[in-house]
Each structure stands twice: as structure tokens, then as C-alpha cells.
Amino acid sequence: MIKIIRDNSLSIVLFTLFAICISAQSFAGWRVQNENLAAHGQASLGYWHYLSTGTFWEGLASNWQAAVLQLGSLIVLSSFLYQRGAPHSLDPRKPKNKQKQREKTWPLTWIYSNSLSLTFLLLFVLSFVLHALSGASAYNEERSLTGRSPISIMAFLFSAKFWSITLQTWQAEYLVIALYVVLTIFLRQENSPESKPVKARDETTGEANK
């Protein structure tokens, strides 16, 4: 058991932090929602009822899709674009290793070769759809408090409300990943595989992939 925990400690800690954060977020969001309902003279919601509302799921889905978009973009773009000095970039001075596979023993070779980016694409689509559905529900809940009629999911998809939230998360994720790529050129974190070795030169590219 100790060996299993040690060998999987990174994922265990990350999933544990996720569980703690999402639990805390749900309780905080529940209190905010009831404060909002009270301000409009509406009855408060129970905690478990709140977890089924569009308001709760919109917050999750909008952030999930942005985070998936961030990592998915880095995975795909780094396969053909370069950043000199970044540990997670291919070295532009070295030609790509193009091995011609004359005999393919597995018909799904291409899918497996691109399975990581395809998985992130699927996760993005699922989280985007969840955001659209839950966001429309949350927006209609908000509109009902002011006596306005509900709108359709398609109308919500083309609304400023949807794209304001979506682009707000996207721009933040792209900024963070861009800063990550650039800062790893000059800065180091000892013993982290996400960093170049402390003594590596700034011009050294692709060290994390060796």
C-alpha cells in the first residue's frame, strides 16, 4: 500500500486538492445563491438542491473547458510550433524524426499516436456542451428572479452573457500558459521535471522531453 501511494502520490494529492476545492466552492456558492435569492424575496435553497442547479454547474463547466483548452492547446501547438529555450518545446535546430512506417500492424495507429490530443478535444467538447446547457439554465434562473421570460439554449449560445464568461476564462488560461512557457526559459525549480536543470543555459530547448 505504501508503495502504491508513493508511486501515485502526485495524482493522489492533485485529486485530493480538487475534491477539497470543489467541496468548498459548492458550500460558498450555495451561500451566495441563497443571499441572492433572499435579496429578491425568494425562498432559500437546500444544499443538495443547489448542486442540481445551473448556477452551480455553469461555474464548474466554464472553468473545466478553459483548463482543458489550455493544456490541449499546449499539447497540439507544441507539436509543430517552437519556443527557443522552453523545456516543453521541440528544438527548432533539430529536424523532426520522421520515421516512415511501411508496415502498419495496427489499423488504429494514427488514433493512438494522437490519442492525448484527441482525448483533450473530447473533454473540451463535453465541457463546452455542459457549460452551454448549465449556463442557459443558470441564466434563466437569473432572469426568473426579475420576472423575465426564459430563453432557449441556442439564444444563450449567441448571447453576450455566454461569451463574456467563456472568453473571460479562455484569455486567463492562455495568459497563464504563455507565461509558463516563457518563464521556464529563464527560471528554474530544482528537482521538478517541469523545469530545466538548474545549471542548464537559457538557450537550452526541450530539456523536459529528454
> pLDDT truncated to tens, each residue of the chain (210 aa)?
888 999 999 999 999 999 999 999 999 999 999 998 998 888 899 999 999 999 999 989 999 999 999 999 999 999 889 999 888 888 888 876 654 454 455 667 888 888 999 999 999 999 999 999 999 999 999 898 888 999 999 999 999 999 999 999 999 999 999 999 999 999 999 888 888 888 888 888 886 655
Distance of CA 105 to CAs 72, 85, 98, 101, 108, Å? 28, 37, 18, 10, 9
Q: Are 156 and 162 in contact (CB under 8 A)?
A: yes
Q: Are 26 and 51 in contact (CB under 8 A)?
A: yes
Q: Are 106 and 20 in contact (CB under 8 A)?
A: no
How far apart are alpha carbons 139 and 149 in whole angstroms?
11
Dihedral in degrees, nearest 10, Cα atoms 73, 77, 78, 82: -130
User: What pLDDT shows up at residue 199?
Assistant: 87
How far apart are alpha carbons 73 and 79 in whole angstroms?
10
C-alpha of 116 from chain center:
14
User: Which three three-digit cell numbers place residue 150?
Assistant: 426564459
What's the predicted TM-score (pTM) here? Answer: 0.84
Residue 75, helix vs strand vs coil: helix
C-alpha of 195 from chain center:
21
How far apart are alpha carbons 109 and 200 in whole angstroms?
36
User: What pLDDT shows up at residue 103?
Assistant: 47
